[in-house]
Structures are given as structure tokens and as C-alpha cells.
Amino acid sequence: MGGSGEIREEEQQKEVQDINDWLPITKSRNATWWYSAFHNVTAMVGAGVLGLPYAMSQLGWGPGVAVLVLSWIITLYTLWQMVEMHEIVPGKRFDRYHELGQHAFGEKLGLYIVVPQQLMVELGTCIVYMITGGNSLKKIHSTVCPDCKPIKTTYFIMIFASVHFVLSHLPSLNSIASVSLAAAVMSLSYSTIAWGASLHKGVEPQVQYGPRASTAAGNTFNFFSALGDIAFAFAGHNVVLEIQATIPSTPEKPSKKPMWKGVVLAYIVVAMCYLPVALIGYWVFGNHVEDNILISLEKPAWLIVLANCFVVVHVIGSYQVYAMPVFDMAELFLLKKMKFKPSLFLRFITRNVIVAFTLLVGITFPFFGGLLGFFGGFAFAPTTYYLPCIMWLVICKPKKFGLSWFANWFCIIVGVSLMLLAPIGALRNLILQAKNFKFYS
């Protein structure tokens, strides 16, 4: 009997290995530390950076700088925790966020806690990037040809989506490395254009740094919404374990060392992008800055076109980095739970359906800028600011009232406050935007 049990166990292990060899996250494990660096830059420095001066104008100088710096420190700390927990169990790797959640909270509860939030973040980001890509294409068109007949935003979003119906069929996260590298370079480029052109323009003559809204209630809601915008800007954690899964690991050379090296470089780039854009953008335009700093910069036309071209290339790469774990989750479910066989046809259908879904939501609700704050608070704050801390407390059990214990509880309190406050302000802004909205315009 023992022999047949061993054979069955071997067959199960082989089946698991075959599935892992086929899934996009675990298919290829030959990434290096610099893959980690540019995947993390691509995941983190998204279109959110262009909204930071607007968030500063809602927060004001003091609170704005404090929230930005605090977010950078907290999210670097929670990212370090996730990198450490990737191989916290000897001989096992938590290749996906929900697998770490299951280890911390139990098989069922871990899935219920992590999967809905992770899907909301990843699909939400893909939808935001659909709209950002479409809007940037529209801005390029209107700048290059101001006398042309205006084309609906819907069509530009559809043009942007057509790229993803092709790129989404690249087999694994490692196979999009060159797309991701281009995206990382672009994020640094358009951030530099945003603050460089603002600096060149100089401070507006009638610049004001007072509150944006005329009522106390309006300012309070704006403050809450801005917290969500900043949370959205620090949202790379949802794909960090998946990025680490692509790095080879042995007991002598664990994956956490090259991964952490890449993360530190990525966070230096994040600071170089975020702080100058937020501070210089707000300093130049004051409380009249647009929710996308590139819209405030009307001239020179060629520079605006160039910056928007960079944005388009960047969000193509970013979309793919966030979409890969969604494809992985969908394919894992179909193979393990629904017992489908791995096939190119299955991959073709699954991925096209996901891209089509993000396209449909994007063209239906293109005032998604307001949803940045909503999603930022509602889904990004938990997965970025405090879920890693809760998992750390559960798995690593640091000494009560010690430094690690206090640091984690501080992050949890900040993260929960963000999650509760940010959606309130964002929801009000959404309602105001939706009043004058016409579908598919």
C-alpha cells in the first residue's frame, strides 16, 4: 500500500510542477536583481505621479509633504516585510500574495481576505491605465492637430486596448521584461519633463496656495480624497511576491537578496520621480493645478506631445505588469478547480476576456480619475500599508511592545485611517463629476 501512496504523491507533485511550469508567474525563474528593479519601478511609478501636485493642492504644504514622506517610508518598510516573508518557510516559496495570505490566516480565510482586494487593485489599475493611455493619445492628437475634428475619448481608449489584445499573449512575467524596462525608463522621463517644464515655466504671477474649495466641508472632503490619490501612487505591493517568484532561489543564495537590491534601487527612482513632481508642480501652479500636471503645461507643444508619448509607452508596460498576476489567478483557477487542461486556446480566451473587461469598464466610466482616490483608499491602502504588517505579526510574532511591534501597529493604524477616510472624499468627487457626464461621449 505504501508504494501506491508514494506513486500517487509523486503524480500529484508532477501535476503541480506541470501547472507551475505553465502559469505566467512561475513559468520562468531566471530573473536577476535588475529585473526586480525595473518591474518594481514600472509597478510603482504609474500615472498616479502626475496627480501628485493636485493632491498637494488639496492637502497644503505641511500635511502634503508629511503624507508623501511618511507613505514612502511606510511602504518601503512593508515591501521589505513581503520580500522577507517570500521564503519564511524553509523549502517553500510563496509565489503569490494570496498564498502568503493563506499561510498567515488559513486556507479559506486567507483567500477571502486577499483575493478580492488583490483583484480589485490589479483590475482597477488596469482600467485606470486604459483610460490614461486613451487620454494621452487624445492629448497627442489634439496638440499635433488643433484644427482637426475632435475624436471621442472612447475611440482612443479602444486604440490603446488593441495593443493589449496582442501583448497579453506573451507567456510569462519574465517575457515582458523588455516592455517593463521601456516603461520604467519612460516613467523617469515623463516625471522629469513634468517637473522640468514646470520649473522652466516659473511660478504663476497670481499663484495661491490656499485651500482649493470655498467651503470647510469641501476642503475636508478634498483632503480625504488626496490621501487616496497618494495611496494609489504607492501601490506596487500587489505584484511584489509575483516579481520575486521569477528570481531563482537556493538555500545558499535566497531570492530575497537580489529582490531587495532591486527594491532599494526602485525606491530611489520613486523618490526621484515623486518628490520633484509633487513639490515643484504645486509650487508653480498653486491651487489651480489640474489633476494631471501635463494638462496644466500647455506649451511648448512638442514637449507635451513627447511627455504624453512617454506616458503611453509607460502605461502599456504597467498594464502588463498588473495584468500578468490576474491572468495567473484566472488560469490557476481554471486548471486546478475547473480541471481544464493547459492549452493555448484556454490562454487565448482567458486573457482576451480579461482585457475586454478592462476596456469595457474604461470606456463606460472614463471619469476614473475620481476613482483613483476611491480605489487608492479602499483597496490599495490595505494591501500596501497594513496587510503585510498584520501578516508579519501573525507569522513572525515579534516581541510585544518591542520596536517591531510598535512599528507594525503604527502602520496598521495609518493604513486603516487611510482606508476609511479616502473613499469618502473620492466618492463625493465622483458624484460631482458624474452629474454632467454623458455615456460613451
pLDDT in tens, 114-155: 999 889 888 988 998 898 899 889 989 988 888 888 888 899
How many angstroms from the chain centroid is the CA of residue 32?
Answer: 21
Q: What is the CATH number of the domain that holds 424?
A: 1.20.1740.10
- Does 439 or 184 have the greater pLDDT score? 184
Q: How far apart are CA 218 and CA 109, in angstroms?
A: 39
Question: Is residue 440 situated within a structural domain?
Answer: no
CB 274 within 8 A of CB 49: yes
Question: Is residue 11 situated within a structural domain?
Answer: no
Instruction: Record the cell numbers describing residue 235, joined without a space.
Output: 501601490
What is the pLDDT confidence band of residue 3, given thresholds at 50, 70 and 90? low
Question: Is residue 175 situated within a structural domain?
Answer: yes
Q: Which residues are CB-contacts of 37 (< 8 A; sequence separation ≥ 6)? A: 184, 261, 262, 263, 265, 266, 269
How many angstroms from the chain centroid is the CA of residue 327?
Answer: 16
CB hemisphere CA count around 287 (13 angstroms): 14
Cis peptide before 300 (omega within 30 of 0): yes
**What is the reported pLDDT for 371?**
66
CA distances, 36 to each of 304, 429, 437 (Å): 30, 36, 41
Question: Is residue 281 situated within a structural domain?
Answer: yes
Q: How far apart are CA 241 and CA 94, in angstroms?
A: 7
Question: Is residue 390 situated within a structural domain?
Answer: yes
What is the pLDDT confidence band of residue 2, given thresholds at 50, 70 and 90? low
**What is the reported pLDDT for 366?**
77
Element (H, E) at 300: none
Question: Is residue 16 situated within a structural domain?
Answer: no
Give the count of domains, the chain: 1
Cis peptide before 150 (omega within 30 of 0): no
What is the pLDDT confidence band of residue 21, given thresholds at 50, 70 and 90? confident
Residue with the three cell numbers 515623486: 274
Mind giving me the DSSP string for 2-43?
A: HHHHHHHHHHHHHHHHHHHHHSTTTS-----HHHHHHHHHHH
Q: At what angle do helices 107-144 and 97-105 cross, to 10 degrees?
A: 150
Q: Which domain covers residue 282, as residue numbers? A: 36-435
Q: How far apart are CA 274 and CA 292, in angstroms?
A: 13
User: Residue 39: what residue type?
Assistant: H
**What is the reported pLDDT for 368?**
57
Question: Is residue 21 situated within a structural domain?
Answer: no
List the beta strands (DSSP E) in 76-152: none
Question: Is residue 31 situated within a structural domain?
Answer: no
